[in-house]
Copies of this chain bind each other. A is one copy, B any other.
Amino acid sequence: MAATSKDDGKAGPRRGGVTLREVARLAGVHPGTASRAINEETRGLVNDATAQRVLAAAEQIGYRPNPIARGLKTSRSHTVGVLIPDLTNPLFPPIVRGIQDRLERDGYTPLIANTDNDAERERGSIDALSARRVDGLLTATAQADSAAFAALAELEIPVVLINRQVLGGNMRSVAPDDRAGVRLAVEHLVGLGHTKIAHLGGPAATSTGALRSESFVETMRRLGLDADPALTVSGGAMTEAEGERLCRQLLAGGAEFTAIVAANDLVALGCYDVFDAEGIDCPGDVSVVGFNDMRFADRFEPPLTTIRIPHTEMGVRAAELLLEQIRDPDSPARHELLEPTLVIRDSTAPPRRDP
């Protein structure tokens, strides 16, 4: 391969496009030959000298292969769809960033669509993406029972699930180890001396929500504590609004508690809101631990104790799994679990001795 970092002064990428034909003519070969020379995988089919001549010609006139034309012939678009609920949710930008960076390295381009967790929009996005002939799909939205989920399967293109996993399916996935995460959270709280711990869970229809809740009661039990059903509620989404609603519901229930493990950081923020409104001191009156360690979690009041998961890496791994499957559709399905870690800040403290 010729030096790629050559400092070219006059490569003018013209809009109208230099075509392969022109390269071929300049190199004095047939377009077919030029094509073979330019493609890495087929370069072996042409004489070394000719290949060099073609490459030089291409360089000289600034040839850029037209992916549209290529895609038409090969029915590979070198694009992949990315389905997320909402880019505006701070959880996703780092994930997407990881995806973009990894994909870019391999010449793939992500097409990002927001679904707002709306089944109809999701369905529509899947349609649009498949119309654009994406080579694969990364999705952070699939609910276990969603009809859109069926649509995914029937698409017959590589799919990898992010931040979710599906039970029996042979769909690849990468997600944080949710069980381990809340285990860390509960153990931290118990270590601090808490015994009456509440859980504000996410939607049971998502593996994330379900797993975290499961692990909560499991861990409580294992530690010999009572997971009071009145203290483990779950909501319809992991948002500040839902967190607020759930927290109020908890308070209204009347059951005592000194700590909360929230389904995620946003839910934890919802708790902060009711604390402020009700004059509850955190962590004095009640401790809170979040999940995700999203950006700025260290800057809230109080700085939030939470479970950190490697967002960017999650995106990167997801992209890698997808690329792998695109290249070898028969490779075995894999489910990756990313290790979470506890990061202790100021929203957790030992419970008051005597209320």
- Tell me whether A90 is interfacial, beta carbon within 8 Å: yes
Q: Given A67-B131, A127-B13, A131-B67, answer yes or no on A87-B93 (Cβ-Cβ < 8 Å).
A: yes
- Tell me whether A39 is interfacial, beta carbon within 8 Å: no
Q: Would you give 10 A-B contacts (Cβ < 8 Å), ordered by A?
A: A15-B75, A16-B133, A64-B130, A87-B96, A88-B97, A100-B112, A104-B113, A111-B111, A299-B299, A299-B301
CA distance A245 to B128 in the complex (A): 46
Q: Which of A150-158, A167-175, A316-324 touches B?
A: A150-158
Interface-centre pick from A110, A112, A114 (highest chain B CB count, 10 A): A112
Min CB gap A298→B, angstroms: 10
B-side contacts of A163, CB under 8 Å: none
- Tell me whether A277 is interfacial, beta carbon within 8 Å: no
Which A-B residue pairs are the 8 nearest by beta carbons? A301-B301, A64-B131, A68-B71, A15-B156, A87-B93, A88-B93, A68-B72, A87-B97
- Tell me whether A47 is interfacial, beta carbon within 8 Å: no
CB < 8 Å: which of B86, B133, B154 contacts A66?
A: B133
Min CB gap A311→B, angstroms: 9
CB < 8 Å: which of B69, B100, B113, B132 contacts A67?
A: B132
CB < 8 Å: which of B94, B113, B269, B299 contacts A100?
A: B113
A12 to chain B: closest residue by CB: B154
CA distance A113 to B67 in the complex (A): 17
Asked if A155 contacts B15 (CB within 8 A), the reply is yes
Assembly of this chain: how many copies?
Answer: 2
Asked if B157 contacts A15 (CB within 8 A), the reply is yes
Asked if B299 contacts A13 (CB within 8 A), the reply is no
CA distance A17 to B111 in the complex (A): 20
- 1/0 per residue, CB under 8 A from B, across A109-124: the answer is 1111110000000000
- Tell me whether A292 is interfacial, beta carbon within 8 Å: no
CA distance A68 to B343 in the complex (A): 48
**Chain A residues within CB distance 8 Å of chain B:** 12-13, 15-17, 64-69, 71-72, 75, 77, 86-88, 90, 92-94, 96-97, 100-101, 104, 109-114, 127-128, 130-133, 154-157, 269, 272, 295-296, 299-301
Min CB gap A153→B, angstroms: 12
CA distance A155 to B66 in the complex (A): 16
A127 to chain B: closest residue by CB: B13
Q: Given A13-B155, A68-B133, A77-B68, answer yes or no on A114-B100 (Cβ-Cβ < 8 Å).
A: yes
CA distance A251 to B110 in the complex (A): 45
B-side contacts of A133, CB under 8 Å: 16-17, 66-68
CA distance A299 to B266 in the complex (A): 12
B-side contacts of A299, CB under 8 Å: 269, 272, 296, 299-301
Asked if A110 contacts B109 (CB within 8 A), the reply is no
B-side contacts of A13, CB under 8 Å: 127, 130-131, 155
Asked if B12 contacts A131 (CB within 8 A), the reply is no
Min CB gap A230→B, angstroms: 29
Asked if B111 contacts A109 (CB within 8 A), the reply is yes
Q: Given A269-B299, A300-B300, answer yes or no on A131-B65 (Cβ-Cβ < 8 Å).
A: yes
Min CB gap A96→B, angstroms: 6
Asked if B113 contacts A112 (CB within 8 A), the reply is no
CA distance A154 to B11 in the complex (A): 12
